Amino acid sequence: MAQAKTLTQAELDQVLRYCAGTRYQHRNRALVLASFWSGMRVGELSALRVCDVRNEDGTIKAEIRLAAEQTKGRFGRVVFINDRLREELAQYLRTARIRSVTQPLFFSEKSGGFSANSLTQWFYWTYKKSGISGASSHSGRRTFITNLANKGIGVRVLASLAGHRSIAVTQAYIDVNDDMKRAAVALV
């Protein structure tokens, strides 16, 4: 099975333009950017609740503490949220109907939360309708790791951010591209 495609900024922008014309544009934008800017797995995104990301005063947390049951490996971890993603999540929550802080953060068409499988399908169709081929629910995560590696972040930090227990797994996520090779050769 081929690895998920890493997206360029132009391709991500194309997906975001598509999302802007959809019925749940704020949710869709927040889902895509949460994938690309946090590196969370689709199962982790589907498991998020409002209280996982929003403080009692309504602000967005800088760190999301995932419980073991919310992660693939059943090991709790912390996901760090940058200012841009915090603003996107705040924008989304201003438009979402919140009935309870324990409800799923991202609702499906039927107002319930996504399952990991239904969110995987959502990403598939979003990329397909956006005109991006080869992308999957793992593309945001893989792009997140590759972009950080491209900026010189060490593999041990990347593994910790990704929730990997082995740096060998993390290394497989990094998509080496021509820009990375050019930058490396320029250092000689």
On whether the pTM is more than 0.85, the answer is: yes
Question: What pLDDT is stored for residue 1 in this prediction?
Answer: 56
Per cent of the chain over pLDDT 70 is: 99
Question: Which CATH topology does 9-140 take?
Answer: hpI Integrase; Chain A (1.10.443)
Can you give the residue ranges of every domain in the chain?
9-140
3 state SS of 60: strand
What are the distances in angstroms from CA 134 to CA 25, 35, 178? 23, 16, 19
**Predicted confidence (pLDDT) per residue in 12-54, tens digit:** 999 999 999 999 999 999 999 999 999 999 999 999 999 999 9
According to DSSP, the residues that pair with 65 across neighbouring strands are 78
**Predicted confidence (pLDDT) per residue in 80-98, tens digit:** 999 999 999 999 999 998 8
